[in-house]
Structure 1
């Protein structure tokens, strides 16, 4: 279990430092976009020390820990990671010409869905805190702030990339729905054409069957001719009866298919409207994520 965070005994001095520091930062960038670490104190394994705290919202503790470990490793001769991260012989030129020891503890708050990094700097004169010389205090503050900006940018870029992927997936799904609608419209057009042709075939079959139903004129013909005519008549009758049945079946099938396609097209339009709304919402999400990323200073 990680040690609990303790209230800082450096409140008044921290406020004095904040009053001196923030106006200079506001001149550089808009205040709402400025990331500034807070001065506090934290219970490390070797005692309570003044810290520079950096808080990150909706971020995994693992990602935050990995980032600060790599940053500490880049600045230090040696790094250990047992009860907390400790960087030995760390060089932060803006804070001190000598090397420092840096302690980092990462604390996850489940209640607020945030991760706080507690960073303590130890020099030959002791731990850097609100009452430390301006160079040491300002140098450590800026070292932490720069890395806060770097991590926030990484997190923002990851969020934008994930949002863009989701937007791409939704756009592809919408495109598939639109393509499917086009296929169904083409199928509906062909279905209606076949239904019209079946109706024509049915009418023609009825006319031919009506003619074949009438008694043929056999006056003046011999028996052989009459037999041949009768045989042909039976063949024509069977052919037109078969054609009449097939046209009736086709018409019935096409009518059912037309109904099915009309229902499917109606459902497709509803699905497209819902998907389009999802796309627009995701576009707004991506725009918001991009704006937040651009606002990080």
Structure 2
């Protein structure tokens, strides 16, 4: 599963970062058919592409409209021409196709650049279309890398939290075991004291039978009270010991579950590190 996802990421990225090619073609804009410089984006997002190109053109133009297509007026792009130019940008996705095409038309000195235009201008326009497309691909892959890195960081934080929880649970388990041991010891001590008290009671009963004085009777009553208290203590210590044993088993299971989760998270981290490396590799290879 994870290997499949990683391979899918690489395949997607290779498409996104495939060699950028600029084709000189033509496209029917809202005001007619014009020669254009087209770049095809496999598995592209038409809305995202449109937003990217619009923002890029806003940075260099006096006015940008976006009705049927993006129209940049007074664009200052010295890489193409010294004077301001008009740039038309149309993003289209052919029906039943995963490819999104971006058409750029450049009007320089009142005429659209075409195959018959000055070679230097055509080359400048081609270079501009190429650089802009690469900038978009770079942004997409940077965003992808950032998302993968964020996920990796979250996984590592999750693992750190699991380790802290395990440490806390282990500390609680040790305290619980100590309480269980103390309860068991206190129970034994109380049982021993109860045994001694029972003997004392039987002895005192014999004394009372032979001499039912007020003092002997009071002493017997005190011993009976002591026995009742000891029996209550023994009952409590028994419950405490049982509770500690049950809680200890629950905590031990929690630790086992935690270790299992840590193992799963470690594997997820290793897989995510592979994805980050793949995303970085794709970003480094964009062209």
TM-score, reference length from structure 1: 0.77
Find the partner of 1:277 among 267, 278, 281: 267
**For 1:223 and 1:60, how far apart are their aligned partners in 2?**
104
* C-alpha contact 1:51 1:121 (8 A) present in aligned 2: yes
Corresponding residue for residue 127 of structure 1: 112
TM-score, reference length from structure 2: 0.79
Corresponding residue for residue 8 of structure 1: none
CA 1:202–1:57: 2 relative to 1, 3 Å: farther
- Measured on the aligned residues, the alpha-carbon RMSD in Å equals 2.9
Q: Deviations over 1:122-179 (max 9, x none)?
A: 3358433445432011100111122223222322332233223222322222222222
Higher relative contact order (CA 8 A, sep 6+): 2
1:293 aligns with 2:283: yes
Q: Deviations over 1:79-129 (max 9, x none)?
A: 332211222343433433444332110124685555331112233584334
Find the partner of 1:116 among 78, 88, 101: 101
Corresponding residue for residue 10 of structure 1: none
- Say how many residue pairs are matched: 266
Gaps of 5+ in 2: 1-16
Gaps of 5+ in 1: 1-31
* C-alpha contact 1:90 1:100 (8 A) present in aligned 2: yes
**For 1:159 and 1:112, how far apart are their aligned partners in 2?**
23
CA 1:230–1:54: 2 relative to 1, 3 Å: same
Corresponding residue for residue 10 of structure 2: none
1:172 aligns with 2:162: no
Corresponding residue for residue 244 of structure 1: 234
1:275 is paired with a residue whose SS is helix
Corresponding residue for residue 216 of structure 1: 203
2:59 is paired with a residue whose SS is helix
1:230 aligns with 2:220: yes
Find the partner of 1:45 among 15, 26, 30: 30
2:256 is paired with a residue whose SS is helix
Corresponding residue for residue 206 of structure 1: 191
* C-alpha contact 2:148 2:272 (8 A) present in aligned 1: yes
* C-alpha contact 1:92 1:140 (8 A) present in aligned 2: no
**For 2:190 and 2:37, how far apart are their aligned partners in 1?**
94
1:267 aligns with 2:254: no
Q: Deviations over 1:228-279 (max 9, x none)?
A: 4313311221121111101111111112112211222211111222222222
Corresponding residue for residue 6 of structure 1: none
CA 1:273–1:156: 2 relative to 1, 3 Å: same
**For 1:98 and 1:243, how far apart are their aligned partners in 2?**
99
**For 2:174 and 2:94, how far apart are their aligned partners in 1?**
61
CA 1:111–1:207: 2 relative to 1, 3 Å: farther
